[in-house]
Amino acid sequence: MALISWNDNFSVNNALIDSQHKKLVTLVNELHDSMKAGKGKDALAKTFYELINYTKEHFETEERMMQKVNFSGYATHKKEHDTLTKEVLDLKEKFDAGKTMLSIEVLNFLKNWLTVHILDTDKQYADFI
């Protein structure tokens, strides 16, 4: 079973952002599946890096959209993106150094990291874009 199941609750009523969120969900699910299948570190790293890179691209898209409409919550939202980015880069550093494995705890962290942000913070701009 997928770690995260997409449902309409996740929608921010914007096709581009929804498609990016879906891709992020897919990447976390893929990482989870690879981990469960006992894939090696290189295979896990590939998906994990893709998740990190795509997150960067996604945050930039959202930030551009919010700036375009002068969204009042921009600064707070941007700060949360920066914190989330730092958290995942810290995790990457530990992973690369062999100090952490992609365990179910780490996958649950990524699940919450992504879903809480979409369901709470991202939803706040939904009416403005």
Residue whose CB is less far from Fe ion, 30 or 122: 122
Contact 85, 58 (CB under 8 A): no
Nearest residue relative to Fe ion (C-beta): 122
Residue whose CB is less far from Fe ion, 43 or 52: 52
**Closest approach of Fe ion to the CB of residue 71, in Å:** 11
Q: Is 122 in the site for Fe ion (CB under 5 A)?
A: yes
Tokens for 8, please give them: 């309409």
Surface-to-core class of residue 31, CB atoms within 10 Å of its CB (0-12 exposed, 13-18 middle, 19+ buried): buried
Residue whose CB is less far from Fe ion, 16 or 104: 16
Dist. CA 101–CA 41, nearest whole Å: 8
**Closest approach of Fe ion to the CB of residue 58, in Å:** 6
Residue whose CB is less far from Fe ion, 21 or 35: 21
Dist. CA 31–CA 47, nearest whole Å: 6
Dist. CA 122–CA 117, nearest whole Å: 6
Q: Which of 62, 71, 106, 110 binds Fe ion (CB under 5 A)?
A: 62
Interface ranges with Fe ion (CB under 5 A): 62, 122
